[in-house]
Structure 1
Amino acid sequence: MNQSKLIPCAVFGASGYSGVELVWLLHNHPQFNVAYGFTSSARPAEPIAALYPQLAGRCDLILQPWHPNLLGAVAQQVRVAFLALPHQTSAELAPLLIKAGMTVFDLSGAFRLQDAKQHQAAYGFKQPHLAQPVPYGLAEWVDLQGDEPLIAVPGCYPTAAATALMPVRAMLKPDSAPIVNAVSGVSGAGRAAQAHTSFCEVSLQAYAIGTHRHQAEMAQTLGCELLFVPHLGSFKRGILATVYAQLAAGVSAHQVQQAFHQAYADQPLVRICQTPPKLAQVVGTPYVDVHVTVIGSQLVVSVALDNLQKGAAAQAVQLANQYIGLPTECGLLHAGAVI
């Protein structure tokens, strides 16, 4: 892509939590221009500040209801589309945007799983077939060429798990199953009103034990079976994950530490910490903080990230930076968060 001028982009699902984070990051990005922010066709056109007053005087984008008859006009102006939509909505819209000539960064799970049967079981609808394979955009581990029509942005929990285990996949005990124990803030459930995420109802609890759709995504990425236990936390945003795994015979603590430092030495958004990270370190930032402990043959990795930034919007922009040849952290370090 030519970097001589701003790249016009559109954010679909701009009224949601991940969507508004995308709008804000792109609004402050030196290379992108948010030409459109789209919402459901059931919503009226309205300033983004009407939904998020904290953006008043800072971002004057008008959110518009999406209608398919807008596709032609949008395609003439927009080169990159970011989808922060429900899974099936993204599955239906992404092929149309690609056909119209746009590059799509999809934050939903519509194209993450490679196995069609696993996708059907996890998401409940048939995955659309595309002409080209869809790269799984784990930002620190993918090498985009800049000509892919669609990039699947990983889920927030899988980003934490993969960051914890990718550097040492070859060092784990064969046939052992890592355990991913993770707690997420309520913003991970989206902006729509739900009783179990309301202020008076939310309480720290495990849910979807062994059945969460992100488990298949983690297993695909890591190439092994695992046990994933997600928890809903009594806080707004962030993910704190503790990952346990058995090391293969003969693997030393020094080898493990060396593997992490080598894997992330040139990755400015992954920070190796001397003590287990706290959510306060990462909330509102694009960073993922990692602490590694080896106890005998047991590996314990603590990971903290912001589910709406590194787990969603910031990772999408990080991938877009890679796509067009910009530094991975470009436009991400000073924008801050919205909610």
Structure 2
Amino acid sequence: MTSQKTIQCAVFGASGYSGVELSWLLHHHPQFTLSYGFTSGAREAEPVAALYPQLNDRCDLMLQPWQLDLLPQLAEQVQVAFLALPHEASAELAPKLIDAGIVVFDLSGAFRLSDPAQHEQAYGFVQPQFAHAIPYGLAEYTQLQGNEPLIAVPGCYPTAAGLALRPIADFLANGSTPIINAVSGVSGAGRKAQLHTGVCEVSLQAYGVASHRHQPEIAQSVGREVIFVPHLGNFKRGILATIYAELAAGVDAAAVQQALHAAYAEQPLVRVVAQPPKLQQVVGTPYCDIYAKVHGNHVIFSVAIDNLLKGAASQAVQLANQYFGLATTTGLLNRGAVL
């Protein structure tokens, strides 16, 4: 734990959905102080409540347009930066922040994939390379030492899939391919107005079939190829994933349940539940709820998370808690959500 009374932080992309949720969590955090909230350099400075009126008289953060000439001042005041930016913007900014001595928690996909060729195929640009390894921050499976300059925060779909499949990885049939069908609310598309993701335009539909950039990330996380089909639902936030996986011979329901409970007995933000979860159980919370049922030689998971919290902002803060030696849930419980 740092000797400072509080850890000074900045959020880049603070006007977006994940960014404002980050800002709200840090605003209330007992050990982190939100010093800056940055937006695109093309915007004017404005209070966060101008964009999110529900924060009026609750959060006085002033959103400032980012310019690179602010970096020396920022480096003198801030220890940690959270990047809720587009992938290429994070790839460009993160090395500059690191060179200035600022620890970076990146919520984009810029640094998640360990294979540069796979990254370029998925994201369409060359991944910056570092001399040091970049931790993939699935929080329940990451052991941060507190000296890493950059941590890659997982995507929302890979968080749900990874938390379900990792505990039973050794129980899966050789050569089998888990199938992941997941439905996300429209907030996953970001705040920027787009007709096809507006709530009045969206009908339940699959998208990115066999081509979504989260597919290689999920495969990397669980250690095998997967079939992943995301869906867009006509609701604001949350992810409900249904996962089918073939079990090795002799693996029964008791073994699956034992593996899940053993994996998460000391992980307060993952709950193994007795009934298929509803989104209302997790929306506005940092929890992941996992239900598992064995049917013949397959296990079927139902997994629910809030895509903007456990799938983004609260997982980033959970990782920062670990980085600085704080309890996992510090600043995360009973905070509600902005949207």
- Per the normalisation by structure 1, the TM-score is 0.99
Give the deviation of 1:200 after TM superposition.
2.1
Q: Deviations over 1:142-164 (max 9, x none)?
A: 11010000000000000000011
* One-letter identity of the residue aligned with 1:243: I
Q: How does 1:49-198 map to 2 (within 5 A)?
A: 49-198=49-198
Equivalent in the alignment of 2:280: 280
Where does structure 1 differ by over 6 angstroms across 4 or more consecutive aligned residues?
A: none
Matched, 1:36 2:36: yes
Query: Aligned AA for 2:160?
Result: A
Is the CA contact (8 Å cut-off) linking 1:3 and 1:31 kept in structure 2? Answer: no
In the aligned structure 2, how far is the partner of 1:131 from the partner of 1:61? 36
Aligned-pair CA distance for 1:139: 0.3
Structure 2 residues without counterparts, runs of 5 or longer: none
**How many angstroms apart in 1 are the aligned matches of 2:235 and 2:3?**
40
Describe the SS at the equivalent of 1:311. coil
Amino acid at match of 1:58: R
Moved more, 194-203 or 297-306: 194-203
Structure 1 CA distance, aligned partners of 2:220 and 2:200? Answer: 37
Which residue number corresponds to residue 318 of structure 2?
318
Partner Cα separation in structure 2 for residue 105 and residue 277 of structure 1: 29
Match of 1:209 in 2: 209
Deviation at 1:199, TM superposition (A): 2.6
- Match of 2:176, as an amino acid? S
Are the counterparts in 2 of residues 48 and 60 from structure 1 also a CA contact under 8 Å? yes
**Matches of 2:167 and 2:3, distance apart in 1:** 33
- Per-residue CA deviations over 1:31-70 (Å, capped at 9, x if unaligned) read 0000000000010000000000000001001000000000
Structure 1 gaps, min length 5: none
Contact 2:84 2:108 in 1 (8 A): yes
Matched letter for residue 238 of structure 2: G
Q: What percent identity do the matched residue pairs reach?
A: 68
Q: Contact 2:186/2:199 (CA < 8 Å) preserved in 1? A: no
Q: TM-score, normalised by structure 2?
A: 0.99
Whole-Å separation in 2 of the counterparts to 1:56 and 1:332:
21
C-alpha offsets along residues 83-103 of structure 1, whole Å, 9 cap, x if unaligned? 000000000000000000000
**Given residue 41 of structure 1, which amino acid in structure 2 is its aligned partner?**
G
Give the letter for the 1:210 counterpart. A
Letter matched to residue 187 of structure 2: S
What secondary structure is seen at the aligned counterpart in 1 of 2:145? coil
- Structure 1 position 226 matched with structure 2 position 229: no
Deviation at 1:29, TM superposition (A): 0.4
| Mean Cα deviation higher: 16-25 or 289-298 | 289-298
SS of the residue corresponding to residue 256 of structure 1 reads helix
- Quick one: distance in 2 between partners of 1:212 and 1:194? 19
Superimposed CA distance per residue, residues 282-339 of structure 1 (whole angstroms, 9 cap, x where no aligned partner): 0000000010100111100110000000000000000000000011011000211001
Q: Residue 10 of structure 2 aligns to which amino acid in structure 1?
A: A
User: Could you say what the CA RMSD is over the residues aligned between the two structures, in angstroms?
Assistant: 0.6
